[in-house]
Amino acid sequence: MYWKEKYKTRTVDQYEGYDTIYNNIPRLDFAELLDHMEAFTEVHKKYRNAHPAIREAECFDAQFPQMMLGIMPNDLFCGRADIFPLGMNAQYINNEWGFVMNFEWFDGKLEDESVSEKDRRRLLALREYWSDKTSSMRYLNEMDPVEKEYLITGGVGFDPNGQPQAASASSRVAGIFLDYEKLLSYGLAGLMRLISDKQAEHPENDPLFYEGMKIQLGTVIKTLKWYAEEAARLAGEEENEFRRDELLEMERICRKLVTEKPESFREAIQLVIIYTIMDGAREWGRMDDYLALYYKEDMEKGQLDEEEAIRLLSGFWRLMIVKEQITDDRVIIGGLGRKHPKEADVLAMVIMETSRRVKDIVPQLTLRMYHGMKPELYEKALECIGEGVTFPMLYQDENIIPGIQKVFGISYEEALDWMPLGCGEFTVNHRIIASPNGVMNLANVLWGTINGGYDSTNRYLLTPNRTFLTDYDTFEDLWKTYCDNVEYLVNITVKNHSRGYAVIAEDMSLNLHNILYDGCLDTGKGVINGGTSKCAGSDEIYGLVTCSDSLYAIKKLVYEDRVIDRETMLAALKADFAGYEKEYSLMLHADKFGNDLKEVDEMMAAVHEQISFSTLALSGKYFGLDAHGMVNINNRENTVRGRFTGATPDGRRAGESLTNANNPTSGMDKNGVTAFINSLLKARGDIHFGVVQNMKFSKDTFNHMRETVIRPVLDSYFGRGGTQAMITVIGREDLENARKHPEKYSNLIVRVGGFSARYIELDDDIQLDILNRTLN
């Protein structure tokens, strides 16, 4: 039993055939875990009324190194962490941060008959103590009851397996980008001295704020020593000479980092890993830049060659992979504003080659492109993408930086250090936290708007209006209510985002973040407590195009062409189109975004602008959110939220996925890539905190027409303001899936000899024929 398995996103089987070893060996058995959790709880009780920095530091010290996992047979670096059913973290686990208890795990154990009566009493005592003290429980219990109906319960009761919502607000922080340059140049001992110096420099600040950081750094040092012992022990048992040397090297590095700053590429990586894993941060910053000089100097000294660097980075990547935080682990390369651009470019090539060889879903390698970038980097990026790696993701600095300046309200120089976090939300490297804590499902905002404020089942409260589709005599009436609903919901998500920060700030100071975020050491305040120059947040948007295509269908079919009346439209949607084949066909075949068609694309742009401006308008209204905006990004949530969204007027059936980011509905962009890109470019790129675009190309086109087609397409996109592209190069599996789900592949064109056909329009035997020919 591995305690983290409660949180798993992959299974051990998925590591078969990979170099990465899934560590499912727990360090603590159940009895030890129970002892540990009690000890941790005692520390919390002892420091309950202490300064948050001290409480945090002492609790942190109570959970390390117990939470660290052992060194696995092919590990090159130390730094694997478990997740316990009770603990504290400074970013999030399952969308919770601060003091966290996995109540589900506890309830399971309490019902487990193999657990002794005595242990059950102990578990129960822990559960009772924490039931009102975890940060998320405090956040939920203190929420305004009316806001809670919209954001959490839908007015019914909280269903942990999910329920319809138009908006929700979680308590967490995402996208911590630490100052690795600072970490590496000072080392742990140097940081300890720096904190003391800053404390002396600022007698006006609370000394406990600094004291907490020092205690916490001490725990990092303690953990490094523990890893050194582990490495030494394993080396003593190791028969393979090569591996023994490797373990001894790991021991040496861990011991060195206790007192000295890193001086080699490998030492630098080890320090970055241990600090990040213990901090809880999930992003890895501008790696090509902060490791550039270590790489260069090691190469010059002859201590490192490119293959060895790739081997080390592969070991680094493997530790990211086993964390299973697949929506994080950003490694950023390239871009304006690097300190060592020339040296960093060299390392960026090595980093891309590492990802090409490892070929996994993390790190989310990100290339920031800019005018004047070395062409080799772009070449290499296209080579990796063409092999189906899907990385690096491409971002165009010149199209992003002006928007960053505007939405964050910062200077050009500050904006140069913008970073895409997680799924693509913008933030500023170790300067501004911009966490996406609110979520909006625009398709359900529309449902509330047309259904008296309720979802398609009439059970869950979504929006504050009490009007129905039948009440709107004009489309403008409907649009106004929709906009009012968005504004209402955005406001309560932002308000609760701010309140969530206040809850956490009472619980902990975020010591390790504070050390490596600009401003905190001087202001004597934490990162979400006024310590940095600014603090920001965002609302994640789902189903934007589902919503805009639906609004367009209503406008066109109900109000303009009058081919469906209002009662029938609502009835058809509630019935999930059963018995309404004609209406279904009309809705499904109404124009869709992504085909370079004026009116429907304009509707998308209007929905995009409305949500963008509604969120921007709240900048500075609530404490801790000096800048606020919307992000329309890309993860699995569009599918999850779709399950709780009734049928929509764009012809989407109940429960199906919502659209992903600002991409067209799957398979509904039928006019080719150029039309798709023209549509994308109609949505403004300078009024949000991140929007992502997925593009798919066939392997044949991407690799054999790279110069004649792919480069011109990408040049046109980025040349006309495109901010970002995530490129998938598709192959055989698409043809297979197209046969199973033809409705999603109407844009799949097959090319054989001199003409094209839409694959799904071909007869079965011919499809099979092409599939077979393509495959062999």
Contacts of residue 477, Cβ cutoff 8 Å, sequence gap at least 6 = 471
Q: How far apart are CA 155 and CA 151, in angstroms?
A: 9
Using rule CB under 8 A, residue 115 touches another protein: no
Residues paired with residue 98 on neighbouring β-strands, in sequence order: 89
Contact predicate 655/642, CB 8 Å? yes
Shortest Å distance, C-beta 748 to another protein: 13
CB atoms within 10 A of CB 326: 17
Contact predicate 461/449, CB 8 Å? no
The torsion angles phi and psi of 301, rounded to 5 degrees, stand at -80, -10
Which one among 110, 215, 232, 709 touches another protein, defined by CB under 8 A? Answer: 709
Which one among 108, 402, 579, 719 touches another protein, defined by CB under 8 A? Answer: 719
Using rule CB under 8 A, residue 716 touches another protein: yes
Using rule CB under 8 A, residue 741 touches another protein: no
Using rule CB under 8 A, residue 601 touches another protein: no
Q: Which listed range, 10-18, 148-156, 464-472, 710-718, lies at the site for another protein (CB under 8 A)?
A: 710-718
Q: Fill in the per-residue mask, 538 to 577: x = in contact with another protein (CB under 8 A), - = not in contact.
A: ----------------------------------------
Which parts of 623-774 are beta strand (E)?
A: 627-631, 694-698, 724-730, 749-752, 755-758
3-class DSSP state for residue 412? helix
Q: Which listed range, 227-235, 377-385, 491-499, 768-776, lies at the site for another protein (CB under 8 A)?
A: 768-776
Shortest Å distance, C-beta 270 to another protein: 46
Shortest Å distance, C-beta 732 to another protein: 16
Which one among 480, 620, 769, 775 touches another protein, defined by CB under 8 A? Answer: 769
Using rule CB under 8 A, residue 73 touches another protein: no
Q: Which listed range, 305-313, 351-359, 579-587, 644-652, lies at the site for another protein (CB under 8 A)?
A: 579-587
Q: How far apart are CA 754 and CA 767, in angstroms?
A: 17
| Token duo for residue 142 | 């203190």
Contact predicate 210/195, CB 8 Å? yes
Which one among 678, 694, 723, 724 touches another protein, defined by CB under 8 A? Answer: 678
Using rule CB under 8 A, residue 581 touches another protein: yes
| Token duo for residue 491 | 């406001």
Q: Which listed range, 89-97, 536-544, 549-557, 672-680, lies at the site for another protein (CB under 8 A)?
A: 672-680
Using rule CB under 8 A, residue 10 touches another protein: no
Q: Which listed range, 10-18, 37-45, 50-58, 665-673, lies at the site for another protein (CB under 8 A)?
A: 665-673
Which is nearer to another protein, 639 or 716 (by Cβ)?
Answer: 716
Nearest Cα neighbor of 532 from 408, 633, 649 is 408
Which one among 674, 731, 736, 775 touches another protein, defined by CB under 8 A? Answer: 674
Which one among 205, 264, 457, 671 touches another protein, defined by CB under 8 A? Answer: 671
| Token duo for residue 368 | 């920031």
* Separation in Å, CA 365 to CA 63, 278, 513, 687: 31, 22, 23, 25
Using rule CB under 8 A, residue 142 touches another protein: no
Residues paired with residue 438 on neighbouring β-strands, in sequence order: 169, 539
Using rule CB under 8 A, residue 502 touches another protein: no
3-state helix, strand, coil in the chain (%, to 5): 55, 10, 35
Question: What does DSSP assign to residue 709?
Answer: I
Please count the CA atoms within 13 angstroms of the CA of 587 that sit on its side-chain side. 29
Which one among 193, 342, 589, 621 touches another protein, defined by CB under 8 A? Answer: 589
Shortest Å distance, C-beta 754 to another protein: 4
Q: How many residues does the chain have?
A: 776
Q: How far apart are CA 445 and CA 449, in angstroms?
A: 6
Contacts of residue 583, Cβ cutoff 8 Å, sequence gap at least 6 = 564, 568, 569, 572, 577
Q: Which listed range, 196-204, 364-372, 647-655, 767-775, lies at the site for another protein (CB under 8 A)?
A: 767-775
Shortest Å distance, C-beta 762 to another protein: 6
Using rule CB under 8 A, residue 756 touches another protein: yes
Using rule CB under 8 A, residue 772 touches another protein: no
Q: How far apart are CA 257 and CA 269, in angstroms?
A: 11
Which one among 156, 522, 751, 775 touches another protein, defined by CB under 8 A? Answer: 751
Which is nearer to another protein, 411 or 708 (by Cβ)?
Answer: 708
Q: How far apart are CA 267 and CA 258, in angstroms?
A: 11
Q: How far apart are CA 576 and CA 653, in angstroms?
A: 6
Which one among 705, 721, 730, 739 touches another protein, defined by CB under 8 A? Answer: 705
Using rule CB under 8 A, residue 582 touches another protein: yes
| Token duo for residue 60 | 């942190």
Q: Fill in the per-residue mask, 277 to 316: x = in contact with another protein (CB under 8 A), - = not in contact.
A: ----------------------------------------
Shortest Å distance, C-beta 360 to another protein: 31
Element spanning 46, H or E: helix 30-46
Q: How far apart are CA 350 and CA 337, in angstroms?
A: 20
Using rule CB under 8 A, residue 685 touches another protein: no
- Residues forming the site for another protein (CB under 8 A): 581-582, 584-585, 589, 596, 671-675, 678, 701, 705, 708-709, 711-713, 715-716, 719-720, 751-757, 761-764, 766, 769-770, 773
